[in-house]
Amino acid sequence: MVMTSAPVGASGSGIWEELVTTALLGTDRRALPDGVGGGPAPAALLDTAAVETVRRRAGLLPAPVAQRPRPASEDPRPALPAAAARRLAMLLADRSGTDRGGRRGPVHDLKGLLPQWLALANAHGYAPPPETLPALLDAARAHTDLRPAALAFAGPRARWLARLNPEWRFVLREAPAGGAGLPGPDDTDRIRQLWEEGLFGERVALLAALRDRRPAAARELLASGWTSERAEDRLLFLDVLRTRLGPDDEPFLEQALGDRSRNVRATAAQLLSALPGSALAARMAERAAACVAVDHTGGTPTLVVEAPHECDAGMQRDGVVPQAPSGRGERAWWLGQLLEAAPLSTWPGRLGGRTPQEIVALPVADDWQEELHAAWCRAAVRQKDARWARALLGAPESGGPGALSLAERSRLVETLDTDERAEWVAGFIAAHGLDEAFQLLEVCAVPWAAPLGRAVVDALEIARDAGSYPWSFSGVMGLADRCLDPAEADRLEKLVAVREVAQDAASARVEEHWAGEFQRLVTTLRVRSAMAEELRGG
């Protein structure tokens, strides 16, 4: 019995036990309990059992209450507007639904919208409807990339729930979003305690939160027990210093150059080289400058490169890896590392006062151009130097002077500021189409700026007119789903209609496909704009 039975009297419950025993063994083997009526034994047993059953059920009482859970702390944030709550429920139902999308499925699925929705809702500072939390936590459990935003949105009740359901344990392991629950920057005692006693994840979260607000305090905390940390941990802690890296960090990093672990040394060197004023940067600048010079002997000034002949102990201490990967000459390998770590500001002075543009345009003797430019690309990325990035990228129409790889190009583009980035990528797409645009689009700010959005839509239209297959553009279409400004929907709408231009069945099918893809894109954009609208209307 689930509920406690009513105490119907000892005889009542006693007779029931007797009945069960007799029934189990059979009336042929065991006599009926006293007081059970006449007639054939089985029927008499069932008669009495029926009465007892109904009596027991009718007499049921509630059970005593078990240990009540402590109520969840109140969520002070305002509730979601009703329409937005509905949207959330729909997006979540979608995620937990089956993934049978097939060819068209994943790219255009509403799924991609949940991260955006969460970011918007968090920006507005809304609290979730509590009954949606289970679905939200399930989604966050299945998709780790969703966790930070989902848990920030889920708020205190999610942590309360996670204590009751083992499937949601991960919530307790994750650092509370926005540093909630972590000691404040002034709470030195608690910081010290958590740092010394916390789990690794908690310590990283603590260090990162502190670094964000008090860079120096974070560094000092890290330095306090530095040598006793494990090598892997030292590496990850060191990584935290990337945030708000400054000249004050130099002594600590210099000291880390002598670390037992090679990876730690390399990371320290990398961080130091990103500080143009550091002693390491100066040493690297000196070494690198010795390798590159302008030669005026010919008709045109030309860059000549003299790669280092050895990788001495000083270079190694500064993070230069002596062992070249197989297939690469070791002198070129050392040169690349020196150029990458040397501050780019070294070069105009060293190379006759030329601007980055002029330097990049100089011819390079003896096939060193590729090596040299690639190293400068890495340096521009590491030092976040937009001037050099611009020079190395060249005009978007030209596609850059050097033979840039797709990855190099997108990382250089990333160093430009948001507007310039969008403009450059728009120019690139206008000139070269979408074939190589995916990685570039990925680094552009969302939603795409107007000129960029226009360039993408134009390029899609051109691709269709050229008879390309729509599925060759599924990657870009997928990005557009998430990143295109919903204001572009009106322009796209014109592309939706199937044009009667096809000469044969195959191209008619392609045409129809394009129309379908555009229709889906338009629909998604409309949903996105509705979504933003719903979250605004509180």
Partner 1 sequence: MTQQGVRWSADQVLALAPDAASRKAGSKLGTAGPWSETGSSNEGAVWGLCKGSGSTPYRTVADIGDAAGPAYSCTCPSRKIPCKHALGLLLLWSAGPDAVPEGTAPEWAERWLAGRRKRAAGRRAKAAGGSASADPEAARRRAERRAERITAGATELEQRLADLLRGGLAQAEQAGYGLWEEMAARMVDAQAPGLAARVRELGSVCSSGPGWPVRLLEECALLHLLDQGWLRREQLPEKLAATVHSRVGLPGSADGPAIRDHWLVLSQHDTVTSRLTTRRVWLYGTDTGRTALVLSYGAAGREPEQSLPVGLLMDAEVSAYPGAGQARVALGERFGPPAPTLCRPPGVTTAEAAARYGEALHEDPWLESVPVTLRAVVPVPDGDSWQLADADTDAALPLTPAARSRPGLWRLVALSGGRPVTVFGECGHRGFTPLTAWPQHEAPAVALC
Q: Is the Cβ of residue 46 or residue 443 nearer to partner 1 in the bound state?
A: 46
CA distance 366 to 356: 21
Per-residue binding letters, 21-40, with partner 1 (x by CB under 8 A): --xxxxxxx----------x
# residues near partner 1 by CB under 8 A: 72
Burial string for 330-357 (b: 16+ CB within 10 Å, else e) reads: ebbbbbbbbbbbbbbbbbeebbeebebe
Select the span of 54-62, 194-202, 269-277, 346-354 touching partner 1 (CB under 8 A).
54-62
313-332 residues in contact with partner 1 (CB under 8 A) are none
- Minimum distance from residue 506 beta carbon to partner 1 (Å): 18
| Helix/strand/coil for 12 | helix
Residue 485 in contact with partner 1, rule: CB under 8 A = no
Distance set, CA 147 to CA 106, 110, 136 (Å)? 20, 18, 10
- Minimum distance from residue 504 beta carbon to partner 1 (Å): 20
Of these, 12, 33, 47, 423, which contacts partner 1 (CB under 8 A)? 47
- Minimum distance from residue 131 beta carbon to partner 1 (Å): 5
135-174 residues in contact with partner 1 (CB under 8 A) are 157, 160-161, 164-165
Per-residue binding letters, 260-299, with partner 1 (x by CB under 8 A): ----------------------------------------
Residue 64 near residue 50, CB atoms below 8 Å: no
Cα angle, residue 328 at apex, residues 305 and 271 outer, rounded to 5°: 75
Per-residue binding letters, 75-114, with partner 1 (x by CB under 8 A): -------xx--x--xx--xx--xx-----------x----
Q: 441: which 2 tokens? A: 């689009």
- Minimum distance from residue 224 beta carbon to partner 1 (Å): 40
Of these, 8, 12, 72, 482, which contacts partner 1 (CB under 8 A)? 72
- Minimum distance from residue 44 beta carbon to partner 1 (Å): 10
DSSP string, 242-291: TTT--GGGHHHHHHHTT-SSHHHHHHHHHHHHTSTTSHHHHHHHHHHHTT
Burial string for 373-388 (b: 16+ CB within 10 Å, else e) reads: bbbbbbbbbbbebbeb
436-475 residues in contact with partner 1 (CB under 8 A) are none
Residue 206 near residue 194, CB atoms below 8 Å: yes
What's the chain's length in residues? 538
Q: Is the Cβ of residue 133 or residue 307 nearer to partner 1 in the bound state?
A: 133
341-400 residues in contact with partner 1 (CB under 8 A) are none
- Minimum distance from residue 168 beta carbon to partner 1 (Å): 9
Q: Is the Cβ of residue 13 or residue 122 nearer to partner 1 in the bound state?
A: 13
Of these, 12, 33, 41, 443, which contacts partner 1 (CB under 8 A)? 41
Of these, 67, 227, 228, 503, which contacts partner 1 (CB under 8 A)? 67
- Minimum distance from residue 476 beta carbon to partner 1 (Å): 21
- Minimum distance from residue 422 beta carbon to partner 1 (Å): 26
Residue 401, C-beta contacts closer than 8 angstroms, at least 6 positions apart: 360, 361, 373, 392, 394
Select the span of 49-57, 206-214, 389-397, 411-419 touching partner 1 (CB under 8 A).
49-57
| Helix/strand/coil for 305 | strand
Cα angle, residue 198 at apex, residues 207 and 162 outer, rounded to 5°: 100
3-22 residues in contact with partner 1 (CB under 8 A) are 3, 19-20
Q: Is the Cβ of residue 306 or residue 533 nearer to partner 1 in the bound state?
A: 533
Burial of 504: CB neighbours in 10 Å, binned 0-12, 13-18, 19+: exposed
Q: Is the Cβ of residue 331 or residue 520 nearer to partner 1 in the bound state?
A: 520
- Minimum distance from residue 13 beta carbon to partner 1 (Å): 12
CA distance 159 to 152: 11
Specify the residue for token string 């009336």: 27
Of these, 15, 18, 36, 45, which contacts partner 1 (CB under 8 A)? 45
Of these, 38, 62, 327, 353, which contacts partner 1 (CB under 8 A)? 62
> CA end-to-end span of the chain, whole Å?
49
Cα angle, residue 87 at apex, residues 167 and 155 outer, rounded to 5°: 45
Residue 352 near residue 359, CB atoms below 8 Å: no
Select the span of 41-49, 247-255, 384-392, 477-485 touching partner 1 (CB under 8 A).
41-49
Q: 92: which 2 tokens? A: 């979540």
CA distance 369 to 360: 9
Q: Is the Cβ of residue 61 or residue 142 nearer to partner 1 in the bound state?
A: 61
Of these, 31, 61, 406, 445, which contacts partner 1 (CB under 8 A)? 61
Q: Is the Cβ of residue 63 or residue 361 nearer to partner 1 in the bound state?
A: 63
486-525 residues in contact with partner 1 (CB under 8 A) are 489, 498, 512, 515-516, 519, 522-523
Specify the residue for token string 């010795």: 290
Amino acid letter, residue 413: V
Distance set, CA 82 to CA 66, 114, 127 (Å)? 35, 17, 12
Residue 127 near residue 77, CB atoms below 8 Å: yes
- Minimum distance from residue 77 beta carbon to partner 1 (Å): 14
Of these, 34, 131, 145, 504, which contacts partner 1 (CB under 8 A)? 131
CA distance 340 to 375: 5
- Minimum distance from residue 478 beta carbon to partner 1 (Å): 16
| Omega before 447 within 30 of 0, i.e. cis | yes
